[in-house]
Each structure stands twice: as structure tokens, then as C-alpha cells.
Structure 1
Amino acid sequence: MIRSAAALLAFLAALPAAAQIYNWKDKDGRAVYSDLPPPSGEVKVLQPGRTPPPAVPANGAAPPSAGTASDTAKPKSVADRDLEFRQRRTAEAETQAKAEKEAATETERERFCQQARSQLSALQSGQRVARPNAAGEREFLDDAARAQEAARLQQQIDQHCP
């Protein structure tokens, strides 16, 4: 019991040291330091223990170091990193879905080409070819219908197959 209480006390004592400190200017131009970020505007995140906040002169003017390069190199917040991660995952998922769709389209095209070439080969071989008519009965192709079907298949092959 005492050990867990001591561990809890040590943990709670270390929490303020891990908190971020935000620095920004309010509407009157005064420097404000807080552990909560401002609702809007430019903010500078200070890491505790690294750099103490600059002293504000008595006249309320901004310290000479305000607006340095450290303002542009702000670390990203957890929400920003999470948003970027989600955007990357969405983009990757879209890319993968597009690649899968293209692969499926290519497979279907290859299947169509193989089937059309097979049918054309059967028509050109001279064997009898039948197809169902409107009444569902078997109808054998005569030479004119065979030539017309072969021309149609050849056109499909030329148009869709490499």
C-alpha cells in the first residue's frame, strides 16, 4: 500500500515536468504563457527544461528574440500527426484499391480476348457452329452468318486485344 502510494506520488510529481508550455501574444500585444494552447493565432511551443521563457520588459514591449526561426520549426501536435497518418492511410488505401481495380480489369480483358480468339478459331476451322435463336432453339450458322460472325469477332479482337 505504501509502495503504491509512493509510486503514485512520484508519478504525479513528474507530470508537470512533461507538460508543454505555449507562448503567444494576446490582442494587446502582451506575451502570454500557458499550459493550454490559445484558441487561434500563432503560437510557440516551449519544451520544459530546455529554454526558460524570455522575460517581458516592464514597458510591455515584446522581447527582442520574438519572431525568430524557432517559430517556424514548431513540433507537430498529436492531432496534426494523427491527421497526417490518417490521410496517408487513406491515400494508400485508394492507391491499393485503384491497383486492384486495374488488375481485375486487365484479367477480365485477357479472359475476353482468349474467349474471342477461341471462338474465331472455331469459326475459321470449318466445324459446324450453332447458337440459340430467339425461340431458344438451336440454329446452325450458314456460310454468310459464319463470315459475318468471324468479322465481328476479328473486329473485337483488333479493338480490345494487344
Structure 2
Amino acid sequence: MKFTTLIISLLLLCTPAHAALNKWVDEKGAVHYSDTVPPDVNKANVVHSMTGKGQLEAPVSSSPKTVAEREVELKKSRKEKEDSAAKKEQEDKRTAERAHNCLVAQQNLRGLEEGGRVVTYDAKGERTFLDDATREQRISEARSAASSMCD
């Protein structure tokens, strides 16, 4: 009996927590908070705040997707992932090849600039040495190749 009385009294004490909260300003400019607004207060200055209300639920989609629609979406997402992976792999290969070509061009330029005699082989397979004018021409070609490869 005592337990039932306790539960009922606690439930009655909780009901004011669900009341509306009103904020209103009187003639003197003082702000008041109460559950009821006096009748002589201008209704334009009253701000109503509802307490005890839960958050709104997200709207449920009108029709769930069928298995076939989900399968199509899954295949589409897999295809996009595969395409992006292939594109990234191709781009990585291109970057690595470009870095290798840059290194080779720099080594060729360094070999021409360090001095010494440069040997080439003609169409018959015989060795010929480059003269200074041809060597300078090859150095300028190697510089332009290195600058274009290493950008």
C-alpha cells in the first residue's frame, strides 16, 4: 500500500516537467519565465518553449529497395572501386617511369659534363670520338631532356 502511494505521488510530481515554458517581458522590461502568461501581457513578446518533447524521427523511405536494386548498386560500387584502383595503379606506374627517365637523363648529362673523351659507334660499328662542338650540342640536348623529364 505504501509503495503504491509513493509511486502515484512521484508520478504526480513529474507532471509539471511536461508543461510548456513561456518567456515574457513586462512593461518595465523585466524578463519572466512561467508556465502561464498573464492576460495583460502583449502576446507578441511571448516566446513559447515546449518541454518534454522528444526529437523528431527521420522520415522512413516510402518503399524499401528490392534485392535486385541492391545488387545493381553493389555491382556499380564494385565497378567504380575497380576502375579507381586501376586508374591509381596506372598513374603510379607513370610516376615511377617518369622518375626513372629523369634519373637516366641526369646521369647522361652528368657523364657528358664531367669531361673526358666521349666515344660513339657509327653504322659500321667503328669507334669514333666526339669533337668539342658535337659534345656541346649533345650537352645542350641532354640538359633540355633532363629539364623536360624532371618537371
Report how far residue 80 of structure 1 moved: 0.8
* Residue aligning to 2:129: 140
The percentage of counterpart residues that share the same residue type is 34
Structure 2 residue 103 is matched with structure 1 residue 114: yes
1:90 counterpart = 2:44: no
Higher Cα Rg, which structure? 2
Residue among 90, 97, 112 paired with 1:101: 90
Deviations 1:22-67 (A, max 9, x none): xxxxxxxxxxxxxxxxxxxxxxxxxxxxxxxxxxxxxxxxxxxxxx
Q: Give the gaps of 5 or more residues in structure 2.
A: 1-58
Residue in structure 2 matching 1:155, options 123, 144, 151: 144
List runs of 5+ in structure 1 lacking aligned partners. Answer: 1-68
CA distance in 1, matches of 2:92, 2:117: 36
Write the distance in 2 (CA, Å) between the matches of 1:144 and 1:97.
Answer: 47
Q: Does 1:125 align with 2:75?
A: no
Query: 1:150/1:74 Cα in 2 relative to 1: closer, same or farther (>3 Å)?
Result: same
CA RMSD of aligned residues (A): 1.8
Q: In structure 2, how many angstroms separate the alpha carbons of the residues matched to 1:79 and 1:107?
A: 42
Q: Which AA in structure 2 matches 1:130? A: V
May I ask how many residue pairs the two structures share in their alignment?
93
Residue 70 (structure 2) pairs with residue 81 (structure 1): yes
Query: How much does 1:127 deviate?
Result: 2.0
| C-alpha displacement of 1:144 | 1.3
Counterpart-to-counterpart distance in 2, 1:91 and 1:136: 53
Aligned-residue offset at 1:160: 2.4
Please state how far the C-alpha of 1:117 moved relative to its aligned partner: 0.5
What SS does the aligned partner of 2:65 have?
Answer: coil
Taking structure 2 as the reference length, the TM-score comes to 0.56
| Contact 2:105–2:149, Cα closer than 8 Å, also in 1 | no
Distance change in 2, residues 1:77/1:158 (3 Å) = same
CA shift in 2, pair 1:78/1:127, >3 Å: same
Higher relative contact order (CA 8 A, sep 6+): 2
CA distance in 2, matches of 1:85, 1:131: 60
Structure 1 residue matching 2:63: 3-state secondary structure: coil
